[in-house]
Structure 1
Amino acid sequence: MHRRRALRAPLALTVLALVGCGEPAVRAVPFGGSDSIPCQAVAERWPDTIGPYEPRVTAVASDGVAAWGEPPIVARCGKAPPGPTTDPCIDVNGVDWVATSLDDGGTMFTTYGRDPAVEVLVPAAYEAPPLLLPPFGEAVGAIPQSLGECSSVGD
């Protein structure tokens, strides 16, 4: 049984709650590579919780997408790796993340140096978004960091 599934949107993530029987499901469009072998390895390691936030049911048949909390924190595997950027890059327990501020006040974190990349979208309702990243370390670690390190960003 899949507890976490979702759909992806082109650039901005559209997150909707679907009303149905039981718990509302989170929708977020998966990336094209979300069901690739590397993303399957990531999905097998998605964290059980993100801090106090429990997993959410997602609305599509892709294990490469998961969600936790309300409003949902959404993780998606299969994104194209980011190239050099001026966005801040941070190391969280050995995982390099590029942090991008979104127009709605949320933050998009994208792994750096891994192919495919993993994206974590944190809504503006959460304080200190980087503090939500450590639980993703084991899952993201399933993809080797072979394309460079955080220090490479912007060089």
Structure 2
Amino acid sequence: MSKPPDLVAAEYALGSVDAERVPWYAADWLANGHDGPALRELAGLDGTDTGLIGELLPDALTEVGVAVPSPADAADAWLATLTQRLLAGEVDERAVSEHVSAFVSWHLDLDEIWRSPFTDLHVIVDEWDQGWGRGNQELAAAVRRLCRDHLDSH
């Protein structure tokens, strides 16, 4: 399955891109009408030379018209995408809090995640189905509010 270049750029900015899959994505981008020397070279790789893939990817993204965002912008875009999935009914509130908690755990060095809504969503994960704290309905409402506030602010 292919990924759009903007999502790959965000993953690259966050250090979480699956480099072995990038040549497949590049080949798909070529098939969709994009072109350029870095993109062609990237699409011709077999995925084993992750160092070369990492070197070529920023230029290939430029060739498809996508800039690598700052880590802060990439994190915001990631949460916006997850929020859109929540609002479309593809994931529920509990899944959102679990995904955000995992995201925070994987990106502890990213200063931008230590602010709301990331921090607020991260701590909610421990409250689901517990006899203390907020009930599940209140948690679900809090997740939706935090996600909508995030979308509204961007």
TM-score norm. by structure 2 comes to 0.27
Over alpha carbons, which structure has the higher Rg? Answer: 2
Q: Which has the higher strand share?
A: 1
Q: Which has the higher contact order (CA 8 A, sep 6+)?
A: 1
Q: Which has the higher helix share?
A: 2
TM-score norm. by structure 1 comes to 0.27
